[in-house]
Amino acid sequence: MDFIIRGALQAVKALYNTELNESDINLQETRKEFEGEATIVTFPLTRYSKKSPEQTGNEIGEYIKENFDQVGGFNVIKGFLNLSFTDSYLLSTFRNEIQNEQFGIFPSVGKKVMVEYSSPNTNKPLHLGHIRNNLLGYSVSEILAASGYDVVKANLVNDRGIHICKSMLAWQKFGKGETPESSGLKGDHLVGKYYVIFDKEYKKQIEELKASGETEEDAKKNAPLIKEAQQMLQKWEAGDEEVINLWKTMNGWVYAGFDITYNKLGVSFDKYYYESNTYLLGKDIIDEGLAKGVFVKKDDNSVWIDLTADGLDEKLVLRGDGTSVYITQDLGTAQLKYNDFKMDQSIYVVGNEQDYHFKVLFLILDKLGKAWAKGMYHLSYGMVDLPSGKMKSREGTVVDADDLIEEMVDTARKRTEELGKVEGFSEEEKKNLYRMIGLGALKYFLLKVEPKKRLLFDPNESIDFQGNTGPFIQYTHARICSVISKGGETDHSFDKIQDLSATERELILALSRYPATVEAAAKEYSPAQIANYSYDLAKLYNKFYHEEPILKAEDEDVRNFRLSLSASTATVIRKSMNLLGIEVPERM
């Protein structure tokens, strides 16, 4: 709709002898209750016309209608000029843009973006919170790639630390040599089992020490298990061969388990970073910051940065004994990632409990004079709750990702069979369809909400073939495929079409908004914009399907046009859902 802005600029120049910039024109979609497709807000233009908003709107509307044949009419409501497009313009848009194979494909913008997501700990399986993280990271990566960015999908694995040693120690003490093969458990589930066992045994020891007269604080420090775990970490850091071998073995189990879950979710990575390789990084940056006067060393040799002038506080960046804190290794890892890829933007997909941490990280890098720090962004997202409440991995009450995926697929099977949507399907086709619907329901439900919002995930609500859900959109796609299949071979020529029905106009307009929606979603890092666009498009197609005869249209050109419109809708739904990592079936 660039021509409208061009028209408004020409109108203001011709009518009021004033040169404006594109940014001076406030263009919006016309609200549903008014006639028209595009709206110019005329209030800001009255300073040039020296007339009322209504009169200004009428004058500009008349000028645009007279000089731009894409506009067939207009109306003015207070300070809003609503423009209506001609059928010929919409048909031209459909033929020349929407039906073009390059529709919605952006040229390269010449910029590289790294999206870091997942970042699991190797002491437990992935859970529902990880699912939101993975789906967000993957979808944002796909949206940015579709918008012309060169995208690197990265995963920083937290594979060291006291929490890892807890699982290792518990397995050593209570595992009796159990392996994924001997237990029949996925590797990440097996290691997670021993993380829970450690916590239970540790709590028992705390209670025993409290019963003997120790305070809770002392009991937590003096429990033999926690002391042994700390000793194991020290041995790991010293390179003890036995501890390192156990660590490699158990991490290997976890990685194999993660790969299965990632594959089920349909997410992938281009680059893995491991905390075991990066935890010593950052000390050079501390020296650099001391030399530049960004950091200060205190009497106990600890190194700090004072961020009080920036509305934050003093932050420790290196302990007095020379050991790293989290921010130290994050500074080093950020530098390593930039050295590896020289990206223009670096996006961290991490929960909102880390908002403060990333403010500090980005601010320190900026103060250190790292020009690339300007391109760093924390894609903060809210927690996911279930109707049953919050999750705690130490206590084994976490909602396991694999279990949830299995539950979603099973719920999809039950719902689909109840509705009788699998007649004529082979067992393999049924299995694939249930997987598509179950995962589509899960992904869509988690992605249709803006990332920053906390959300309540209800598995039953997510698998509904009527509401704002993945299965509704998937079913619409299957319905369109069925219509096209029944339409048979046609040349899809519709040269004689000149007039459009109201729903045909709406559908073409909705399809034309696809590229702008992708662009906006990329700018805002918001898969929710794509999800809700997909739902609105599917809803609109169903309205068109019920109001306009397609296969039974009496005129051959009308039939061909409506089949073409259906095919383009299916293509855009498929592209949109692919950006969310969701497959759409052709039969359902």
Taking the CB of residue 585, how many other CB atoms lie within 10 A of it? 18
CB-based contacts of 431: which residues, under 8 Å, 6+ apart?
Answer: none
| Sheet containing 80-85, strands listed edge to edge, beginning at the edge strand earlier in sequence | 27-29, 38-41, 80-85, 71-77
The token duo for 200 is 């239970």
pLDDT score, position 492: 67
d(CA 230, CA 163): 10
DSSP structural state of residue 417: H
In b/e form, how buried is each residue of 138-149, taking b as 16+ CB within 10 angstroms? bbbbbbbbbbbb
The per-residue pLDDT string of the chain (588 residues; one tens digit each, 9 = 90 and over) reads: 789 999 999 999 999 999 999 999 999 999 989 999 999 999 999 999 999 999 999 999 999 999 999 999 999 999 999 999 999 999 999 999 999 999 999 999 999 999 999 999 999 999 888 999 999 999 999 999 999 999 999 999 999 999 999 999 999 999 999 999 999 999 999 999 999 999 999 999 999 999 999 999 999 999 999 999 999 999 999 999 999 999 999 999 999 999 999 999 999 999 999 999 998 899 999 999 999 999 999 999 999 999 999 999 999 999 999 888 899 999 999 999 999 999 999 999 999 999 999 999 999 999 999 999 999 999 999 988 877 654 444 444 568 899 899 989 999 999 898 888 788 899 999 999 999 999 999 999 999 999 999 988 887 788 888 889 999 999 999 999 999 999 976 566 788 889 999 999 999 999 999 999 999 999 999 999 999 999 999 999 999 999 999 999 989 899 999 999 999 999 999 999 999 999 999 998
d(CA 38, CA 55): 18
In the beta sheet, which residues pair with residue 75?
82
In b/e form, how buried is each residue of 187-217, taking b as 16+ CB within 10 angstroms? bbbbbbbbbbbbbebbbebbeebeeeebeee
C-alpha angle with apex 130: 174 to 312, nearest 5 degrees? Answer: 105
Alpha-carbon distance values, 388 to 27, 302, 397 (Å): 45, 45, 11
Domain boundaries, the chain: 2-85, 161-252, 283-323, 403-579
Tell me the backbone φ, ψ of residue 464, rounded to 5 degrees.
-135, 125
In b/e form, how buried is each residue of 448-469, taking b as 16+ CB within 10 angstroms? bbebeeebebebeebbebeebb
Bridge pairing between strands 71-77 and 303-306: unpaired
pLDDT score, position 463: 83
Q: Which fold does the domain 2-85 belong to in CATH?
A: Gyrase A; domain 2 (3.30.1360)
The domain covering 403-579 belongs, at the CATH homologous superfamily level, to Isoleucyl-tRNA Synthetase; Domain 1 (1.10.730.10)
* H helix or E strand, kind and range, residue 49: helix 46-49
In b/e form, how buried is each residue of 57-92, taking b as 16+ CB within 10 angstroms? bbbbbebbbeebebbeebbbbebbbbbbbbbebbbe
Cβ-contact 256, 180 below 8 angstroms: yes
Query: First CA to last CA across the chain, in angstroms?
Result: 37
Residues in the chain: 588
In the beta sheet, which residues pair with residue 115?
153, 347
Q: What's this model's pTM, rounded to 2 decimal places?
A: 0.92
Cβ-contact 505, 498 below 8 angstroms: no
Compute the Cα dihedral for 63, 66, 72, 73 and give only its sign: positive
pLDDT score, position 467: 87
Residue type (1 letter), 45: L
d(CA 276, CA 344): 26
Bridge pairing between strands 80-85 and 345-351: unpaired
d(CA 548, CA 330): 58
Identical topology for domains 2-85 and 403-579: no
Taking the CB of residue 174, how many other CB atoms lie within 10 A of it? 13
CB-based contacts of 466: which residues, under 8 Å, 6+ apart?
Answer: 472
